[in-house]
Homo-oligomer: A and B are copies of this chain.
Amino acid sequence: MALTLYNYFRSSASYRVRIALALKGLSYEYVPVHLLKNEQLKPPFSEMTPAKLVPLLQDGDHVLSQSLAIIEYLEETHPQPPLLPAAPAERARVRALALDIACEIHPIDNLRVLRYLVHEMKVSEDDKNRWYRHWVETGLDTLEQQLAKSPQTGRFCHGDTPTLADTVLVPQIFNAQRMDCRLDHVPTVMRIHQECMALDAFKSTQPSACPDAS
């Protein structure tokens, strides 16, 4: 079945799904939705989804939203190679690491939240940047502690093959670097980031390699 990904090169939630598709070896049509031009708020995209958020994955008649739900769907429909381990407690660890980023860091620094902070709360540009860095730096510090203290951490977040957690970690590091966040306090996170970026699935789908990159 033909897959179509509606996404934006710089959206880290989009990048998560691009990595998962690449790790699974799935080809897809790439449809860019330019967030800074507010294309997500206009037809045809806005009519596909009330949430008006990228990414969306279309698989035949199914239109799927929310990056983590999309990746779980890919895992269920294309199990090889697996992005989750087999044992329930290990699956829970991988999902929790992914959610430590997807729930505790990313939403607070989302573009629409930053816009609201500046336009409605009248926070200065400097304070907005401080806000951004605070949540990234403290959130990654928590992740570092989870990863550094666990014997289950391997070459990647969990063991020696990439999982759902790595598909979420790498895009967050791209954002952190673009916003000049401190990263010297998270050596395990950065080591794993490097391991990932040595793989084609992470490298070939990075923001600068996307058709809509500018």
Measured CB to CB, the residues of A under 8 A from B are 50-53, 59, 62, 64-66, 68-70, 72-73, 76-77, 88-89, 91-93, 95-96, 99-100, 102-104, 106-108, 113, 116-117, 120-121, 123, 127, 130-131, 134, 142, 145-146, 149
Contact = CB atoms under 8 A, between A and B. Distances in A.
18 contacts: A50-B146, A51-B104, A53-B104, A59-B89, A64-B92, A64-B96, A66-B96, A68-B95, A68-B99, A69-B95, A70-B92, A73-B89, A76-B91, A102-B103, A103-B107, A108-B108, A116-B134, A120-B131
Number of copies: 2
A88 B100 contact: no
Nearest to A77: B88
Nearest to A128: B121
Contact of A65 (B69, B96, B108, B117): B96
Contacts of A52: 142
A106 B92 CA distance: 21
A92 B73 contact: yes
A66 B121 contact: no
Contacts of A142: 50-52
Contacts of A93: 64, 69
A141 to B, nearest CB: 8
Nearest to A64: B92
